[in-house]
Every structure is written in structure tokens, then in C-alpha cells.
Structure 1
């Protein structure tokens, strides 16, 4: 009986959290279209989020292209299909692997950072001080960060994809003596707008999820300094789960449109 009560309590807590986060997201859209608009803070957050994550995304993309090509090349050579390497790598990275991997990397970097930053402001009562001074802390702190992650993540993913393809081309040039011009000609022959558009659209949702969860966990942080660590940790865990759910829904919808 106690185990049943524990399961019910956990389920209730989970759905309470989902409801609270949904309300948090609805409030974001409400505040987004009401004045005043924090344009300077939005630009500052876009710069910070993009600049601080660019090196990490670039290094990850380069290693992703190297490893993926090195692992796939022997199998394609065994079947005499090494000429398919540029097409296979480009489609795999652009459609699925790139957006998911880079979003997970940014979830750990950006989501935890936002959760820790807002959590620290919450426990030190800086957010309460902003409310007392007449400033809207939700618009200044939350709306700008969610919008910045939504706008910057697609750009980071596109840059990461390009660097990953360069890493793959480097391996093909060294191992298979394929020129960079020939490699990228095959890449662009294989890619179509139907490959880029779904990946780009879902990357906006990835960015929104990272910003939403990170801001929610930080904005509702409690338990003092211990709560800051919990907010940062749970932001990464919840965001990672949400990214996989969004990716599944996006792939499912895309598959339906392809069949039609």
C-alpha cells in the first residue's frame, strides 16, 4: 500500500511540474508580445549564448565528422561503396545526428548555466529586489534568455554541421585522396531543401526547450545554495529528455509528410 501511495505521489508531483512549466511557457508568450521590449538585453544574451558555445560546438562538430567517417569508411569499402561516403555522412549529420548532438551539448552548457545564474539570483533575493524596484524580472531575465536560445541554437547547429562535414572531408582527402571540391559537390548533390527545412525547424524547438527548462528551474529555485546545484542539474536532465521527445515528434511528423 505504501508503494502504491509513493507511486501516486510521484506521479502527482510529475504532472504538477508539467503543469507549472506549461503555465511558465504560456506566460513567456504573453510577456513576449507586451511592452516594454528588452532589445539590448536580448542582443547581449544572444552574444553571450552564441559566443560562449561556439568553440564547444565547433570542436564537437569536427570530432563528430572525423569519428563518423573513420567508423563508416571500412564498412563502405568492404561493399565497394566508398563513393557514397559524402552522401551518407551529409544526410546523417544534417538530418538527425547533428541537431541532436549539438542540442545536447548546448543543453549541458547553456541550460545548466541559465539554471545556475537565475537560481543564484533567486536565492540571493535579487529577483525580489527587481520586483520591488518596479522592473519586470520575468521579461528582463526569462523572456530574453528563452528567445536568445531559440534564435541562436539553429545558427550553432548550422555551424556545427558545416564543421562536421569539413572534418569528414578531411578524412576522405587523407584516406581516400578525394579532393575537397569533389567531396562537397557530392554533398550538395545529395542534400535537398526537404532535408534542411525539418532539421532547421526542430532546432528552433530545441532552443526553446533549453531556454524554457533552464529558466524555469532557475526562476523557481529554492533551498538556498543547495537548490542552485539542483536547479542546474535538473535543468540538464529534463532538457535532455525533452529534446529526445521533440526529436521523435519531429521525425514522426516529417515521415507522415514524406509519405503523403
Structure 2
């Protein structure tokens, strides 16, 4: 919504009301939804993974699994990685839907731009690849978060202090990984000059 406030005012002054929905849809689908969702998940889920596995590591629970003949990677890490890769796309879709709806309502309430105009512009600008790319990004981000967080968790040493340090490091490294992956994927997915907004002017 803050993003909407910042640029809708300028677009309105320039008389580009019919381009607002398209810009919103492209911004949310290509960047904002997958990245913001992943940042929130990294802070919530990534820290939980690192703390839980770190506690198990320093309390020697992972060693107990090995004694019982269970592989800690298959038992503790693989399910978390799979769950993250499956959950992130759904959360990204929810973020996109809520973001578009709230931005359309805000534009209508504050700037008097009809919701129908916003939705029509978004429909004309948005293409299937924009949604597909968001899903691919979110899956990659989910893998990055889970792998990094679990790796820091199972390599924790130093007792309770080590658990705290591993949790912090896991979140920081996950965020760095998300930003790097986002740049690489965006450069790969959206090369050259785009024409998505040509029907919205």
C-alpha cells in the first residue's frame, strides 16, 4: 500500500490513470510478492528451522537418530525443504491477491481511480509468464531459505549461545541468498525491452 501511495499520485498528475493497474500487477507479480513473502518466511520459518535443529544438535538428538539407524538429513532436513518449496508459491499468490486488492481499494478511496480501471489495466498488462516466473522464484527462494537454515541448524556448536548465533546467521544468509537469486532470476527471465504496458496507455 505504501508503494501504491508513492507512485499513484505521480501517475495521476501525469494523466496515466489507465497504466496504474498494469504497473501494480507487474510490480507485485514479478518482484514484490515473491521477495516480500520470502523475507517474511525467512524471518519466521527460517529462524524456526535453525533454532529447532540447532537445539537438537547441541542436545545430541541428531546423534541419537544416527544410533537408531535414521539419517538426520532424510528425517529432518528433506521434509522441510520440500515443504518450503511447496508452501512459498501459495503464500506468494496470497500476497499478490491481497496486494492487488488493497492497492485497488486504496486508489479508489484516496485518488478516485475506479477499481474497474485498475483491474482492466492489470488484466491487459499481466501475462501468464509473469505468474509462472513468480512461482519459480518463490520455489527457488523456499529452497534457499530451508537449505541455508537447516545447514546452520545441524552444524550448531557451543550450546545455547551457539543456537542463537546460528539462528541469526541463518536468517541473514537467507536474506542475502534471496536478493542474489532474485537479481539473477530477474535478469534471466526479463531480458531486453518489455512491451507489457503498451496496451495500458
Query: Same fold per TM (> 0.5)?
Result: yes
Q: TM-score, normalised by structure 2?
A: 0.90
Q: State the match for 2:105 in structure 1.
A: 170
Q: Secondary structure at the match of 1:221?
A: coil
Q: State the match for 2:77 in structure 1.
A: 142
- By how many angstroms is 1:168 displaced? 0.3
Aligned residues: 194
Q: Distance in 1 between matches of 2:107 and 2:137?
A: 30
Pair 1:224 & 2:159 matched: yes
Q: Deviations over 1:115-171 (max 9, x none)?
A: 001001111111111111222221111000011111111111111111000110111
Q: TM-score, normalised by structure 1?
A: 0.70
Q: State the match for 1:193 in structure 2.
A: 128
Out of 13, 24, 30, the position equivalent to 1:78 is 13
- By how many angstroms is 1:233 displaced? 0.2
Q: Distance in 1 between matches of 2:138 and 2:109?
A: 32
Q: Is the 8 A contact 2:20 2:121 kept in 1?
A: no
- By how many angstroms is 1:247 displaced? 0.9
Larger RCO: 1 or 2 (CA < 8 Å, sep 6+): 2
1:94-243 to 2 correspondence within 5 Å? Answer: 94-243=29-178
Q: State the match for 1:11 in structure 2.
A: none
Q: Distance in 1 between matches of 2:180 and 2:76?
A: 26
1:24-35 to 2 correspondence within 5 Å? Answer: none
Q: Distance in 1 between matches of 2:110 and 2:169?
A: 43
Higher mean alpha-carbon deviation, 195-204 vs 146-155, is at 195-204
CA RMSD of aligned residues (A): 1.7
- By how many angstroms is 1:106 displaced? 1.0
Q: Secondary structure at the match of 2:15?
A: coil
Gaps of 5+ in 1: 1-65
Q: State the match for 2:22 in structure 1.
A: 87
Pair 1:247 & 2:182 matched: yes
Q: Distance in 1 between matches of 2:126 and 2:34?
A: 15
Determine which structure has the larger helix proportion and give its number.
Answer: 1
